[in-house]
Structures are given as C-alpha cells and as structure tokens.
Amino acid sequence: MIKYKKLKFLSLYILIILSSFSINYYVSSSGVFPVDTFVHYDNGFRILLGELPVKNYFIVHGFLIDYIQAFFFKIFGNNWQSYVIHSSFFNVLISLFSFKVFNALDLKTYQSAILSILVGFLAYPISGTPFLDLHATYFSLFAIYLAVFSILKNKKIYWFWASFFLCIAFFSKQVPSAYTIVGLTVACAIFSVLDKNKGKNIFVLYILGAITFLTIFLFFLILQGISLKDFIIQLFLIPKSIGLNRYGNYELGLKNVIMDYKFIHAIFIPLIIINFIKIKKEKNYIYKKNFQIFLVIFVFAISTIVHQIYTKNQIYIFSLIPILAGFLIYFINKTKVKNKITLINLVLLISIITAIKYHERFNLERKFHELIYTNLSNGVSASKIDKKLSGLSWISPHFENPYEEIDNIKKFLKILKTDKENKIVISEYNFFSSILNQKLFSPSRTYDSISFPKKNEKFYEYYKSFFINNIKKNNIKNIYMLQSSKIKDDRIKLIVYNYIPSTCFNKKIIDDYILILKLTNCREL
C-alpha cells in the first residue's frame, strides 16, 4: 500500500513537471513582441561578459532576473532554448509547490493534481518568456506558501524563509512584491499580537530572514563594485517617482476592479464570505490557524489584484483562480454546509473552464505580448536571423510579413559586424550582444516609455551623466539604432538628443528602420 502511494505521487509529480514545462516551452516560442519578449535576453548575456546592472547599464526594476538568466545561459548555452528553459523551469516550480500546498491542505489527491496542472497552464505561459512581473509575483507566492506551511505544520522557521523569498521577489521587481511585503508583515504582526508566546518568535524570525538577505545582498553589491548610491537611485528613487505619477493618473472603476477579474472574484469572494461568517459565528476564530491561513492568502490575492489594476502591463494574474480554488476547497471542507461535494466539484469546474478560456486567449493567441491580432501561423524560423534563435517562430505585430522584419535585422547585424570600434546599440531587439558575442554598451536595459528619465523629469541630469560617462569610458565612436517602426526625429530626440546635442553627431540614415549616429568632436563630451 505504501509503495502504491509513493508510485502514485511519483507519477503525479512527473505529470505535473512534464505538463507545466512543456506548455510553457511550447507557447513561449510562438511569436515575438520585441521590447517584452527579449527584455532580459541580452542582459543575462551581458552579465556573462562582465557587465553589471546599475553600473554598466541603467535599470529601474530589480535585476535578479538578469542574473538568473545569466545562470541559465552558463548551464545550457547562449541560445533561445536557454531563455525558455528559464521560464519553463519556474513554471514547474510554481506548479509543484502548489501541489505540495494543496496536499498539505488535505485536498484529495486528484483535486490537488488538477489544480496544480491548471496553475501550470495559467502561471508563466501567459508570458512564456522570462518577465519581471511574473518572477516577482511567484517569488512572492513562494513566500506565501511558506507562511501557510508554517501555520499548518507549526514550523516557525518557515517564516524566516518566507521573508527571505519576499526579498528575492522585491529585487526581481519592486512591485507587486512591495504590496505583499507590507501585507504579510502586517499579518505577521497581527499573529504576534494574537499569540504573544508563539507570534513573537515568528515575527523575530520573519525580520531575521529579511536582515539575512539584505546583509548577503549588501556584500554582493560591494563585491560586484556596484555603488550603493546608484543602486538606491535606480532601484528606489526613480521607480518611486514613476509610481507616484502612475497612481495619480489612474481612475478606478467598476470595469477595471470587478469585470476584468470576474472569474477570479467568482472564487475569491466566496472564500471571503466563508471566513467572514466564521468570524461572526465562531468564538475566537481570529485566534485559530484557519484564520491565519485565510489572512495570508488574502494578502497575496489583494496584492496581485491591486498591482494588476495599476500596472500598464497586460493582465497576467489568472493563475490566482486555481490557487484560490485550492484554498476555497480547504475552507469548504472545514465548514458545515449541505451539498459539500457538489460545491467542491463546482469550484473545480469553474477552475477548469476558466483555465481553458484563458489558455486559448492568452497562451495560444498570445494576447500578453500584444500578438492577439497577429496570425501566428505565418511565423518563420528565427534561425534565419541566427542559429542561436533556433526554436523561435518569428512573427511580430509590427510586420505583416515576417521576412521583411528579419531582413531588417540581418541587414543591421551585417552593419554591426563591419564596425570593429566600440559602439552603442539602441534597439527593441535585445539580442545583438548575445548573437555577436560582444559588448555593445547600451546605456539602458531596454527602451520603452519608462526605462529612463526624460527632460524636465526628476533624475534627468543623473541619467544624462550616466549616458555621457558610458560614452567616455568606453570610447564609443558610433551609436546604432534599429527600430520595429519607422524611425522619426522625435524618437531620436527622445532616446539620444535629449541627453547629447544633435550637433555632436553626423547622422547617417540607412533606411526607414536603421540609423547610425557618428560621434564628432563635441564639447559636451
């Protein structure tokens, strides 16, 4: 009987691993949206070349994901497969960890298996490729799961590791991690008040976890030669100013709060109602483990929903449905209610139906990367660009004919190969350093609307100095630009002329998409 049970669980683990890995690997290689798809591709490789975030390239988000990608490049080689193995591996971890938690919540094995497989379909595959928001969200989820394990198994040390993982999440991306950090810290403090004997120790361990991580991280910065001042400016002060502007311009309404997440709420609201009733009816319920479990998962759900409402990134949090479903089933089992089996099956049915719905829309149609109106079947092998991109089917929203876009990239690569001088490459296609196996000295991690301060914005002078110093210390001769849309003067001004006067360059236009700016004698430099 014991051997059968072990074999059953081993089979389920293999099923979960294969399904969660393969689904992400499959969808990640269909279609590209350059600025999002490749945002961490070159940066991982730049680290292997000896470059450093904050010091050598400007960032406004956490950079641990760049180091993780560097690790995968080191292990699996400098290629597209290493990139998608990275995100697929994390999808496996999320699914397996969910399975362990659902089992710990005493769900039936088949319920745990179904829900964890659904998590694997809705977690990382919505993006497919490594992405900041998802890493931060799921490192936060690991912290939440550790807190749940601590409550269920009465192992206080898990609170230490919960805090540790929250720090990892924060330095992956500051939000949504910050929301979960605040919420879980408050929850931990509440537990301390409600149970002074146990809670005090819990809170101490929780704080120690953060202190331990921050101490290690500080030593890491020192060893890497990363300035603490620059680190604070790029990772705290600039993102703070960006965030404040974003909050001020956002209107909360029925649609973006309720309707956009209606299927999440279909699970989340019953979970809240059950626990609200228990608080009202059961004496001392707030002192019990179940209340603690509810509060912890409530923190995570609210944190991710709030972040999703305020972020400009596309919706990605539908994995909350099977995650919350697991906890809802747990509380249904702990509640005296008629037709318990029917209710649980209904929860499972909702989870399955919504998973299929979002799998089709976000995974297969690639809505996350704005590929929803792109005919993915027109994709061609990216090996036509370089063999390192083998396995990627190239089609983007920018070109109806993928061959035209690929020809632009190949032409750009040919130009770069002929220039043996140190150069800066500015492009949405963040893979040229990897393909050419050389430093290209881009001053920013990527080039979108919020990656660096603009004129009249706070810290403009800081980034201007960062840009100019990058040119000076690396003896840059040329700045190359390749864009996915036709290059216009206002785009050049935004990216370059805002910081270095146009009089410092001889401008050479190759075609509508390729531009070379040749540095001349310039007093500003």
Q: What is the pLDDT of residues 209-244, one digit of tens each?
A: 999 999 999 999 999 999 999 999 999 999 887 766
Q: Which residues contact 133 (CB under 8 A, 6 or more apart)?
A: 173, 176, 307, 311, 313, 316
CA distance 420 to 426: 17
The pLDDT of residue 198? 57
Closest listed residue to residue 330, CA positions, set 292, 372, 366, 300: 292
The pLDDT of residue 196? 59
Q: Would the CA dihedral through 182, 187, 188, 190 be positive or negative?
A: positive
Bridge partners (DSSP) of residue 165 are none
Q: Would the CA dihedral through 182, 184, 187, 189 be positive or negative?
A: negative
The SS3 of residue 317 is coil
Tell me how many helices (H) and strands (E) the chain has.
21, 6
The pLDDT of residue 240? 85
The pLDDT of residue 137? 97
List the chain domain ranges. Answer: 2-30+80-369, 388-519
Which residue type is seen at 343?
Answer: L
Closest listed residue to residue 491, CA positions, set 441, 433, 427, 432: 427
The pLDDT of residue 247? 53
The pLDDT of residue 260? 75
Q: Which residues contact 178 (CB under 8 A, 6 or more apart)?
A: 170
Buried/exposed 90-104: b ≥16 CB within 10 Å, e otherwise: bbbbbbbbbbebbbb
Count Cβ atoms within 10 A of the Cβ of residue 417 and give its class: 0-12 exposed, 13-18 middle, 19 or more buried: exposed
CA distance 316 to 303: 13
Determine if the peptide bond prior to 176 is cis (ω within 30°): yes
Other residues' Cβ atoms within 10 Å of the Cβ of residue 456: 7
Residue 455, both tokens: 């004129």
Let me know: does 173 contact 181? Beta carbons within 8 Å.
Answer: no
Let me know: does 165 contact 143? Beta carbons within 8 Å.
Answer: yes
The pLDDT of residue 309? 85
The pLDDT of residue 243? 66
Residues of the chain below pLDDT 50:
248-249
CA distance 204 to 199: 9
CA distance 171 to 54: 13
Residue 242, both tokens: 């960006």
The SS3 of residue 217 is helix
How is 131-149 classified by DSSP, letter by letter?
-HHHHHHHHHHHHHHHHHH
Residue 38, both tokens: 């490749």
The pLDDT of residue 67? 97
Bridge partners (DSSP) of residue 58 are 444
- Strand pairing of 380-381 and 478-482? unpaired
Phi-psi region of 366 (alpha: psi -120 to 50; beta: other; left: phi over 0): left
DSSP 518: E
CA distance 158 to 477: 53
Greatest CA span in the chain, whole angstroms?
A: 82
Let me know: does 238 contact 295? Beta carbons within 8 Å.
Answer: no
- Residues 83-123 have pLDDT tens digits of 999 999 999 999 999 999 999 999 999 999 999 999 999 99
